[in-house]
Chain A
Amino acid sequence: MSTPVVVAPTEEEARAPGEVRRGGWFIRITIAVIAVLWSIPTAGVLVTSFRPERLVDTSGWWTVLANPFRAAEWTIENYRLAIEAEGLGNAFMNSLAVAIPATVIPIAIAAFAAYAFSWMEFRGRYILFVAVVGLMVVPLQMALIPVLRLFVGGATLFGLRVFPDLDLNQSFLGIWLAHTGFGLPLATYLLYNYVASLPSSIIESAKIDGADHFTIFWRLIIPLSVPALAAFAIFQFMWVWNDLLVAYVLLGGAQENRVLTVALRNLVGARGENWHLLTAAAFISMSLPLVVFFSLQKYFVRGLTAGAVKG
C-alpha cells in the first residue's frame, strides 16, 4: 500500500520533468480510504452522543445515516445529563486545575535545565544529562507506589527523616509535582535538542555585551525556543488531560476532587451499558484536547521536527 504507483502520463504530467507529480486518482483514493477508516470510530461516538437513549440501545449509530434530518433522531439531553447529573462540569474544572500547571511547571523547569546542560559549564554535566534522559525509560507505573507512600507518610532513612510528611496525597500540588517528575525527562530531552542546536554565535555575543545567564535565558533562549516549548506544551497537556492512572492514584475518586478521566471511568463502571451517557461524557473529555491540538497544531509539528526528531 505504501507504493506510490507510477501513474501513466496524463495531462497533469505534461510539465517540466522533475516536477512533483501531484494528485493522481490512486493517491486521492488511498488517502480518502485511510482518512475515512480513521474517522469512523470517532464519528460513531459523536453521532451516538446526540441520539436519544431509546434509539442508541436498539439500533446501531450508522442507521441514522438513512434519514439524518429527522428531528426525532437527535437530542442534546445526553450532554445535559452528563454535565449536571453526573457532575462532569466540576470534573472539567478539576482537570483544568491539574492540567495547566502540570504543563507549565515541567516546561519551565526543563527549559532551565536544558539551557544549563547546553550552555553552562559545570562538573558532571554529561553524566547528569544522560541520567536525566535515561530516566525516560522508567515506567510510570513503577514510580507510583513509592510516590504515594512518600506523599502519605514521608520517608525515613536509618531513622533519619529525609522526606517530610507533607500530606500531599489528594492535593493539587502533589499531582502537579508528580506529573512534573514524570514529564521532565522527555521535556529536558526535547528542549535540550532544540536549545543546543541554536547558533552559539548569538549566545557568545550576548555574553560579550554583558548579559548574565538569566538574561540570556529569559530574553534570548525562551523567545527563540517558542516552537519547541509549544510543541512540548501540547504534548504534555494532552498527556496530563488524558491521564487516568496518576489522577486516580494520587487524587482519588471523590466527587469534588476527581478529574474528567476518573469521572469517565466511574461512569463506565456504574453505567456500563448506557451508551448515550458514556459517549456524551467521552466527547466532553475529548473536546478540549481537540481544540488545543487543532489551534496549536502548527507549533506541534514545527517544534517536534526542529528539535527532537532532527536527524
Chain B
Amino acid sequence: MRTTDQPTTGPETPSTPEGPGAPEGSKPERSARRVLAVVVGVAVVVALFLFSFDLLRDRNANRLLVVSVALVVGVVGVFLLFWAMDRAVGLISSERLREMIRPWVFVGPALVILSVFLVYPVFNTILLSFKDAIGREYVGIDNYRFVFTDRDMLKAIRNTIGWLFLVPLAAVTIGLAFATLADRLRRGEAVAKSLIFLPMAISFAGASITWQLIYSYRPQGFGSNIGLLNGIMVGLGQDPVRWLELQPWNNLFLMVIMVWMQTGFAMVVLSSAIKAIPDEIIEAARIDGASEWQVFARIMVPSILPTIVVVTTYMVINAMKVFDIVFVQPASAEVNGTVVVAERMIRWFFLLQHNGRGAAIAVILFVAVVPVMIWNMRRFREQEAIR
C-alpha cells in the first residue's frame, strides 16, 4: 500500500542529512545518529501500520480493542506517516532533488487518495454509462436516450430544478433576515441562533423521523392523528390531509425539511459576514440619514455579496445532490411524483439493478455542476493575482 512502501524505499540512499533544513547537524557522529534514528523511526511506523491493519481487518477481534486501536491508528498514524516520509526525503543527499521531491510528500497522499476514491470512479462511471444493465456490452447512447425520455426521469429533472431554486432561495433569505435581525437583539442572540442551527446537527435518518411526527396522517376512525399538522387540522374541525401525497405540493413539503436543515448554515455564515462589516461605514450611512432599509439594501447586502454567493453556490450543489429526504419517505416517490435526479440514480443503481442507467444519470448530474467548477477556478486565479 501507498502508506508503507514510500518510507521503506527512502532510507536505501542514506547519507548525511546536512543542508539548510538540518540545524547544527554538521558533526559526523551526530548526523550518523540522526540517520539511525530516522531509519528506526520509519521502521517502527511501518511495523505498527502493518500490525494494526491486520487487526482492524480481523472481524472476530474484540470490539473494544478494535475500536481503541482504530482510534490510535487513525489519529496518530496519519501524522506519523507524514513525519516518516518527510524524514526519509531528508536523507537524500542532493539538495535540489530533495526540494524537488518534498512538495510531493506533502500533496502525494491527498493525490493518491483522490485518484482512488474520486478520479477513478468518475472514469469508471462514464464508461459504465455506455454499457448495459450489468456493465458487459456497450449500448451506445441508449442510457442517455432513456434519461431524457423516461417519464419519471423528466419529472425528476423538473423537480430537481425546483429544489435547486427554491431551497437555496428560502434558506438564504430566511438566514439573511434572521442574521440581520438577531444582530440587533440586545440579548439572547446566541440562544436564538443556536435554535436555528440545531437541525444542522441532525442526520437525514433522524430528520425523516422528526418530520414524520409533523406530516403523519391517519384517516378518521383509525386512531387520533399524532402528526402535528393534522392535529391542527382536526383541532380546527377540518378533515386530516395526506400531506405527502398531495401533488404537486408534497414536493414543497419535502423541500421544507431541507430548508429547515440548511437555514442555520446560511444564517451563521452570513451573520459573521455582517459582523465583519466595519461599523464606521454603517454609522456614516446612518448619520447621513439613511433609513434602516437603505442601510440593509445599499450597504450591508453589497458588502456581504461575495459571502451570499458562496453560501448560495454551496446550497445549490447540495440541492442538486439531494436524495435522502425523498428516498427515506415511506410512500413511493414515483406514485407521489416527488422523484428527484439523485434519487433516480440510487434507485437505478441499487434497487432496479441497471448500472448503465444509474451511471448515465450520475454523469448528467456531474455535468450539471461543471459551471460551479469553472467559477471555483476563477476564484483561485483571482487569489493568486492578489498575492
Taking Cβ atoms with an 8 Å cutoff, the residues of A that contact B are 1-6, 17-24, 27-28, 30-32, 34-35, 38-42, 44-45, 48, 56-62, 90, 93-94, 96-97, 100-102, 104-105, 108-110, 112-113, 115-117, 120-122, 125-126, 128-130, 132-147, 149-150, 155, 163-164, 166-168, 170-173, 176-178, 180-182, 184-185, 188-189, 193, 196, 200, 210, 212-214, 217, 238, 241-245, 256-257, 261, 264-265, 268, 272, 275, 278-279, 282, 285-286, 289-290, 292-294, 297, 300-302, 304-305, 308-311
B199/A42 in contact, CB under 8 A: yes
A290/B201 in contact, CB under 8 A: yes
**Is B245 an interface residue, CB under 8 A from the partner?**
no
Question: Given the complex, which residues of A lie within 8 Å of B184, measured CB to CB?
Answer: 4, 20-24, 27
**Is B180 an interface residue, CB under 8 A from the partner?**
yes
**Is B310 an interface residue, CB under 8 A from the partner?**
yes
Interface contacts beyond A31-B192, A163-B116: sample of 20 additional A-B pairs, CB < 8 Å, sorted by A = A18-B287, A24-B184, A38-B263, A39-B195, A44-B228, A93-B63, A97-B67, A112-B107, A116-B106, A132-B114, A142-B125, A143-B122, A145-B125, A147-B117, A185-B118, A210-B21, A264-B203, A268-B328, A286-B202, A290-B201
**Is B16 an interface residue, CB under 8 A from the partner?**
no
B103/A121 in contact, CB under 8 A: yes
A141/B346 in contact, CB under 8 A: yes
**Is B299 an interface residue, CB under 8 A from the partner?**
no
Q: What is the 8 Å Cβ interface bit string for chain B, positions 41-57, against chain A (1 contact, 0 not)?
A: 00000000000010011
In the bound assembly, the distance between CA atoms of A166 and B304 in angstroms comes to 48
A141/B349 in contact, CB under 8 A: yes
Q: List 19 A-B contacts (CB under 8 A).
A: A21-B184, A35-B192, A38-B198, A39-B198, A44-B210, A109-B109, A115-B106, A126-B384, A141-B346, A146-B125, A150-B120, A182-B117, A212-B90, A242-B205, A245-B324, A290-B198, A301-B269, A305-B269, A309-B311
A4/B107 in contact, CB under 8 A: no
Question: Given the complex, which residues of A lie within 8 Å of B198, measured CB to CB?
Answer: 38-39, 42, 290
- With beta carbons under 8 angstroms apart, the residue of A213, A293, A305 that contacts B273 is A305
**Is B157 an interface residue, CB under 8 A from the partner?**
no
**Is B73 an interface residue, CB under 8 A from the partner?**
yes
Q: What is the 8 Å Cβ interface bit string for chain B, positions 347-387, against chain A (1 contact, 0 not)?
A: 00100000100110011011001101100110010011001
B86/A214 in contact, CB under 8 A: yes
Nearest chain B CB to A204's CB is how many angstroms away? 13
**Is B163 an interface residue, CB under 8 A from the partner?**
no
B57/A214 in contact, CB under 8 A: no
Q: For residue A292, which residue of chain B has the nearest CB?
A: B201
Nearest chain A CB to B21's CB is how many angstroms away? 3
Nearest chain A CB to B224's CB is how many angstroms away? 6
In the bound assembly, the distance between CA atoms of A293 and B194 in angstroms comes to 10
A18-B283, A130-B380 known; A147+B210 contact, CB < 8 A:
no
- With beta carbons under 8 angstroms apart, the residue of B181, B197, B269, B373 that contacts A137 is B373
A31-B181, A45-B210, A128-B111 known; A139+B342 contact, CB < 8 A:
yes
A171/B57 in contact, CB under 8 A: yes
B200/A238 in contact, CB under 8 A: yes
**Is B196 an interface residue, CB under 8 A from the partner?**
yes
**Is B134 an interface residue, CB under 8 A from the partner?**
no
Chain B contact residue count (CB 8 A cutoff): 136
In the bound assembly, the distance between CA atoms of A9 and B217 in angstroms comes to 48
Nearest chain B CB to A54's CB is how many angstroms away? 12
B113/A268 in contact, CB under 8 A: no
In the bound assembly, the distance between CA atoms of A34 and B262 in angstroms comes to 14
**Is B75 an interface residue, CB under 8 A from the partner?**
yes
* B253-312 at interface with A (beta carbon < 8 Å): 260, 263-264, 268-269, 271-273, 276, 282-284, 286-287, 291-293, 296, 304-307, 310-311
A100/B21 in contact, CB under 8 A: no
A61/B110 in contact, CB under 8 A: no
In the bound assembly, the distance between CA atoms of A120 and B342 in angstroms comes to 39
Q: What is the 8 Å Cβ interface bit string for chain B, positions 227-266, against chain A (1 contact, 0 not)?
A: 1100100000000000000000000000000001001100
Nearest chain B CB to A181's CB is how many angstroms away? 2
Question: Given the complex, which residues of B lie within 8 Å of A261, measured CB to CB?
Answer: 203, 205
Nearest chain A CB to B94's CB is how many angstroms away? 16
Question: Given the complex, which residues of A lie within 8 Å of B228, measured CB to CB?
Answer: 40, 44, 60-62
**Is B36 an interface residue, CB under 8 A from the partner?**
no
In the bound assembly, the distance between CA atoms of A251 and B271 in angstroms comes to 38
Nearest chain B CB to A109's CB is how many angstroms away? 5
Nearest chain B CB to A134's CB is how many angstroms away? 5
B200/A293 in contact, CB under 8 A: yes
- With beta carbons under 8 angstroms apart, the residue of B109, B177, B224, B317 that contacts A2 is B177
**Is B23 an interface residue, CB under 8 A from the partner?**
yes
A4-B180, A59-B224 known; A282+B102 contact, CB < 8 A:
no
In the bound assembly, the distance between CA atoms of A255 and B365 in angstroms comes to 34
**Is B160 an interface residue, CB under 8 A from the partner?**
no
B209/A268 in contact, CB under 8 A: yes
A275/B226 in contact, CB under 8 A: yes
* B60-81 at interface with A (beta carbon < 8 Å): 63-64, 66-67, 70-71, 73-75, 78-79
- With beta carbons under 8 angstroms apart, the residue of A18, A27, A44, A164 that contacts B213 is A44
Nearest chain A CB to B7's CB is how many angstroms away? 14
B209/A308 in contact, CB under 8 A: no
B113/A184 in contact, CB under 8 A: yes
B269/A142 in contact, CB under 8 A: no
- With beta carbons under 8 angstroms apart, the residue of B67, B111, B323 that contacts A141 is B323
**Is B173 an interface residue, CB under 8 A from the partner?**
yes
**Is B206 an interface residue, CB under 8 A from the partner?**
yes
Q: For residue B355, which residue of chain A has the nearest CB?
A: A145
A137-B317, A146-B124, A300-B268 known; A181+B114 contact, CB < 8 A:
yes
In the bound assembly, the distance between CA atoms of A134 and B260 in angstroms comes to 28
Residue from A5, A22, A238, A282 with most neighbouring chain B CB atoms (10 Å)? A282
Nearest chain A CB to B263's CB is how many angstroms away? 7
